[in-house]
């Protein structure tokens, strides 16, 4: 990431002649200084994807005026687009249950300023990490989830997320299935870490499933949450090799390291607007 302030423009539109010329021409016309650019054409779906970083102080107007001036071009190109300011930290709400490794890793990266975010709060269906989270000066909310109170519980999660002015919700080994209403309300804004190399071993106890199947690779998957369990667009994945001598407990231990790094990378890509979703797939500009 650049040390100076910059704007990140990301977009997708139907593939056609002149997309780059229209976008970069608009930036150049206003003396914009491009720091980084990435493009991808999907020949099968006929879709074009763009990500551009522009030095903020090279433009003669505000971000809001950029949006106003660029709207006509975006309309002509039938473009889905956004532009964000690197100086504005994204507000992240972390959800966790009883597994600590992903939560600990995210807080360590946040403390080290490795992740340029504000952690607005932590929500859990258990009180296990209340003291640990509050020691970091982060608000902690205990929202129990039972078979009888799920609608009320997720209504409270919805309220807390909005109250915290959250931008992104991260399920850091949150072992509950979110309500369809919550998934729909924050589509493309909820990130999960699943402890298997999806689409293999969906659902509960994937390491046990992998052990029973006798696989030679185990992995982790960071993906967007949708109503369909563990079926959302994939952001990042990684694997590690195992063999016949490894027990389920060994696999769980190995897997925790992969889960932490995959979640951190996937979250970073999302926060830096490097992920563009198209249907159930993603384009990730690393």
**Domain definitions of the chain by residue range:** 6-85, 90-284
Question: Collapsing DSSP states into helix, strand and coil, what is residue 268?
Answer: helix
Please give the pLDDT value at position 190.
Answer: 98
Active site residue: 167, 230, 250, 257, which one?
Answer: 230
Residue 169 β-bridge partners: 93, 190
Cα angle 23, 26, 27; round to 5: 90
Burial class (CB in 10 A: 0-12, 13-18, 19+), 80: middle
Instruction: Write the pLDDT tens digit of every residue in 35-86.
Output: 999 999 999 999 999 999 999 999 999 999 999 999 999 999 999 999 999 9
Say yes or no to pLDDT of 97 above 80.
yes
The pLDDT score that the predictor gives to residue 2 is: 66
| Confidence band, pLDDT 50/70/90 cuts, at residue 204 | confident
Is the pLDDT assigned to residue 1 strictly greater than 80?
no
Query: CB of 82 within 8 A of CB of 10?
Result: yes
pTM for the predicted model, two decimal places: 0.95
- Is 57 a residue of the active site? no
Closest-CA residue to 282 (of 194, 209, 223): 223
6-85 placed in CATH 3.30.70.260: yes
Q: CA 106: distance to chain centroid?
A: 13
Residue 244 has pLDDT above 80, yes or no: yes
Kindly tell me the burial class for residue 220, based on how many C-beta atoms sit within 10 Å of its own C-beta (0-12, 13-18, 19 or more). buried
Mean pLDDT of 137-162: 96
Q: Specify the CATH superfamily of domain 90-284.
A: Formyl transferase, N-terminal domain (3.40.50.170)
């Amino acid at each position: 990431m650049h040390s100076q302030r910059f704007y990140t423009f990301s977009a997708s539109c139907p593939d056609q002649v002149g997309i780059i010329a229209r976008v970069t021409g608009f930036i150049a016309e206003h003396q914009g200084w491009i720091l980084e650019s990435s493009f991808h054409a999907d020949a099968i779906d006929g879709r074009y994807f763009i990500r551009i970083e522009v030095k903020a102080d090279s433009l003669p107007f505000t971000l809001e005026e950029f949006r106003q001036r660029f709207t006509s071009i975006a309309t002509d190109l039938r473009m889905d687009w956004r532009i964000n300011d690197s100086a504005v930290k994204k507000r992240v709400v972390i959800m966790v249950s009883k597994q600590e490794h992903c939560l600990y890793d995210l807080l360590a990266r946040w403390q080290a300023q490795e992740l340029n975010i504000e952690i607005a709060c932590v929500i859990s269906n258990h009180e296990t990490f209340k003291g640990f989270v509050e020691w970091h000066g982060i608000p902690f909310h205990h929202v129990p989830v039972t078979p009888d109170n799920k609608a009320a519980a997720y209504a409270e999660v919805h309220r807390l997320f909005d109250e915290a002015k959250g931008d992104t919700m991260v399920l850091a080994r949150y072992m509950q299935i979110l309500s369809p209403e919550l998934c729909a309300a924050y589509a493309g804004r909820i990130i999960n870490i699943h402890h298997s190399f999806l689409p293999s071993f969906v659902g509960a106890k994937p390491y046990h499933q992998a052990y029973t199947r006798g696989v030679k690779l185990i992995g982790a998957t960071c993906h967007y949450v949708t109503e369909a369990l563990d079926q959302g667009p994939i952001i990042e994945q990684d694997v590690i090799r195992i063999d016949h001598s490894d027990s389920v407990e060994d696999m769980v231990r190995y897997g925790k390291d992969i889960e932490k790094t995959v979640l951190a990378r996937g979250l970073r890509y999302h926060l830096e607007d490097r992920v563009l979703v198209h249907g159930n797939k993603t384009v990730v500009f690393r």
